[in-house]
Structure 1
Amino acid sequence: MKQICSIYKSPRKNEMYLYVRKADALKHVPEGLLVAFGTPRHTFDLVLSPERKLAREDIEVVLANLEKQGYHLQMPPAEDEYIEHLPEELLRRNDPV
């Protein structure tokens, strides 16, 4: 099943995104979520299909959420994930002497 999807970025939380069906826009996103998310900023449109790979999300989960609830919320990575990607020299700089 293919979906044409619009992706919106949160102005309040770095790396938080809303995926919605382009034809529906934001009409299925609960008001409380929109308040917490902030005014959505459209980033781009994308055709999603089961064969497509996404960098940080499971495509099957995204498609299922779009079908079931009309949106998918991508949360930012945990802080631990940021630390895993820092070069070792930066981590050593913060070690006590």
Structure 2
Amino acid sequence: MMCSIYKSAKKPETYLYIPYDSKFEDLPEGLIQVWGTPELVMHLDLEKRQTLALCDISEVKAKLEEEGYFLQMPPSEEEIARLIAGKK
């Protein structure tokens, strides 16, 4: 499953995953308004990966199939602490 990843011009550390063949303009109007001008970060083949740095890859795939997008918000301080603890 190929997807495109965009970062928000208005919301730091916020990323939006959409299916590769989708158009940003096809997303819900409210999301587009809050998002601002999209900036393409990369295209990614989720089938060739087992994990993602800050997201559960199975959740990303499910949201892409069900809703047509996945919104990655910045990690909370608790999530950052868990990630650091897991790497020790």
Using the aligned pairs only, state the percent identity: 46
3-state SS of paired residue (2:64): helix
**What is aligned with 2:12?**
14
Q: 1:57 aligns with which of 55, 58, 68?
A: 55
Q: 2: CA distance between counterparts of 1:30 and 1:10?
A: 15
The yes-or-no answer on 1:75 pairing with 2:79 is no
Structure 1: runs of 5 or more not aligned: 85-97
Q: Count residues with an aligned counterpart.
A: 82
Give the residue type in structure 1 aligned to 2:34. Answer: A
Q: 2: CA distance between counterparts of 1:69 and 1:25?
A: 14
Could you say if the C-alpha distance between residues 76 and 49 of structure 1 is closer, same or farther in structure 2, counting changes exceeding 3 Å?
same
TM-score calculated relative to the size of structure 1: 0.74
TM-score calculated relative to the size of structure 2: 0.81
3-state SS of paired residue (2:31): helix
Give the residue type in structure 1 aligned to 2:17. Answer: Y
Give me the CA root mean square deviation: 2.1
Which of the two has higher C-alpha Rg?
1
**What is aligned with 1:94?**
none
- More helix as a share of residues: 2
Runs of 4+ in structure 1 over 6 Å off = none
Could you say if the C-alpha distance between residues 66 and 83 of structure 1 is closer, same or farther in structure 2, counting changes exceeding 3 Å?
closer
Structure 2: runs of 5 or more not aligned: 82-88
